Structure 1
Amino acid sequence: METAAIEHMSAADVLADLRACDQLERQVTARRLALAARWADLNPSIQTLPEAVDRTMTDDELGIGLAAVAEFAAVHAVTTQTGRTLIADALELRHRLPKLWHAVHELHIAAWKACAVAQTTRPRSTELATALDTQTATLGDRLTLRRIKKLALQAVARFEPDTLPDPDTRRWLRITADTATTAGAGWVDGRLDTPDALDLETAVRAVSRQLARNGSTDDLDPLRAHALGIIARHALGLPETDTQCGNAAQPGTIGATAPHAGRAVQLYVHLDADTFNRVQGISTRRSAAAQPDNTAIASGVRLAEVGTTDQLVTVEQIRRWCSSAGTITVRPVIDLAANHEASGYRPTPTQREQIALRDRTCVFPHCTRPAHPLPTSADDPDQFSHDADHIVAYDVGGETSSTNLACLCRHHHRLKTHTGWRYVRVGPSDYLWTSPTGLTFLRTATGSTELPEQHPRVRKRAA
């Protein structure tokens, strides 16, 4: 369609054409996968060719000559490695992930998502691949990269637990100078234990806030960078400086506001009751709230879910985190189905915590921002990473109750408040959203799906 024709399209026409484009893209990418698999069929492995052919010019995994891979890639206008990956994905899907292969060609799942699964299963056992094929093939648009990674990790823990990486070998910290510019800066890069990372984040937030209170006009990023330097100097007993943050603070006024060494990090660890009983009682300075009904369990290695960061970790890792000095505080399990009410507009801390544990993320379609409490300083323990939104607005009679509250990130909270997006709660953690143009999306704990006009829930709401 010419650009001039597009410029005369209505809003409904644009969305309809966009949907058609997405379907066409799925058709094209599915066909490309089929062509890649057929190209492999047409080019047998080097073992079936004359022995005079150089055996180094083969790819045993694909069963296809490297020259043929290069030709396929050249016609596709991609690198040989990219072409190889495409052929490998196609063969993996066709032979070991047949349900996902079928879903791609029925246009239920985008090819790039299926390829992400294939790249996960290719080095793994057939048993693992079959299990992941069954889990992912029916998810449709709810299949996201985040979910693929989580399902893959659960499958590895179940079928190949010995291949899980040793947590102790994956922690590192690197500080280097930036020699490519004249900014006089350095790079800080690393991989920390989650509790240590949360400790560091809490300290950086607290000092950044104090810098802002002291008059800093810097943007958030340089403020956080300066805060990290202040934390380091405080640990070394050095005086504060005002470099790079000139009007931020008077020397010596920040150190006292930094979190003390015993600051507790709150982790929401979801364990089944039996596993929790084995873990609890181990001393730690970090507190935990356990939800025994929402555990990621595998038959090979038992996994727990850290709701604070949406991570899957082994129970042994939780035990290791809980082995440091201090005291563990086991808080009572919150009944996620209970309807707590507050008399005013502001939800209580219990309500905030309850809906965070219930919704887990922002409930806007396809949003994955976590909704768990995120303390930022010792005197501000009830800050959350989400807004508690009144589904029915408070100023038009909506109650401040658990059933009328939902987790929204700040961006989507503003979107709901100031635009035509509307939603209702239709299940324990299910929400039916309507866009400004009347499109309907169902957001559940397992993902988001656009509902067609003839869907019963759409017709019921329209009535």
Structure 2
Amino acid sequence: MTALLDATDTQMANLAGLVESLRVAEATLSSMQAARDGLLAIAGRLAIEIARQGDHPDRGDHSIRTVAAEIAAVQRASDRTVERRMAAATELVDLFPSVWAAQGEGRISAAHSRVIVDAGSHLSDADRLAYAAILVPLAETESPNRLRPLARRIAERFMPTSITSRHRKARLARRVWVTTGEDGMAALHTHAPAALVHGMFDRLSQMAHSIRAHNLRAGRDARRYGREFDADDRTVDEIRADLLADLVLTGSPVAHDSADALLAEIRAHITVTIPVTNLTTSDDEDTDGDIDTDSDDHTDSGSHTVGDAGTDTGDSVSLRRPATRSRPGNSAHAGTALRPSPAELDGVVPIDTDTARHLAGNATGWDRVFTHPLTGGALTVDRYRPSTHLRRHLRARDTRCRFPGCGIPARKSDLDHTQAASTGGGTSDTNLASLCRRHHVLKHHTPWHVEQGRHGVLVWTSPTGRTYIDTPPAQNTVTFTSAAAETAPF
């Protein structure tokens, strides 16, 4: 062993001091997180206390949402996140006080506490005390990863019902959801019975390995006999992911389909926004920052498309760029070439230009969103196959729920009258905004208040009197500046 063999006594002393400082810092951080959990638990209790005073039928649900929204707004966080933290903090502080105390003293970390709570949350009060008394000493010596199987094993001893009966109930919570990644990627998750999930993964793995082995054999045979061969160099992980996409997008759910195969006719649908210049200029092409166009279209607006792209091949829409010399994005840095804005999925996830062009060419219909050439704001929307104009315009303008910190896509949200129609509020783009169902309910059943200003700007007032401004997100488009502005000094 040669690692640190040449280190001097001074260096080793410095290392020892550094390690001890990190230990103290980690203990302090755990203590501060325990203190935050205590405050969040108090906030939850306060919300319930207020609800009980008014004998609310929702048992404090709206009160908790209101308090969570207040905390989230000042922290510039999502109120859903804060509400989850409040619930987790309440569970830790009220049900596992000895675990919370150990974390507050810096003896265990927040990760250790989460492992203990997750495994023992269903135990009775008396059993939780005995369970925690066993787990806390273990948490002081084991990592959270090693503690997890021990916690599950010990909790199982205290469970009043068998795993069989609990599994039958747990099956009711099976679901599928998506999380967004970087570079135009995302992850598909499923929560389902373990035997089925492991079985699905094993079948995908067997299929992937079979394809991989076939490709290797075909490549060897081609080289042996001097034949041309288009090598498939995908890894097993890549093949497994491609197989899953192929099965889900093109396979028919035989076991669940109706007699007339209605499910087999369903096609996937997504919403993509594409700056019109991306349909003619690749983001991989080098440019000098100026894009030459020779279109005869008008020059008073840029444009981009909002598509509802399915898997069927349909009519494509002819799109033209403004007849100007344009610089994509913000041209504050004179002389700096900026890449065009990428296409976006649901107004949030950037996707590559090749995929966007493929979807544009095969989409059954597209919304064309004309934008202001300087501000990028949405001016008007038209469609090759028209539908309700105002609804499409507002969803293109808002992109997402308009409550501060919320990112639910507008297509999954309600269109809410800022001033109620019953009190004279008009059904127009100056009095409508996209609110997800959660924040739609919050607006109508809690002291949160909102007013709409010019250009769709919403001014929210919280129950404690704080104000928060939510502006429609910038459109995924191009804007234009004059030559003088491009060369102007900072």
**Do they superpose with TM above 0.5?**
no
TM-score by length of 1: 0.39
TM-score by length of 2: 0.37
Structure with more relative contact order (C-alpha pairs < 8 Å, separation 6 or more): 2
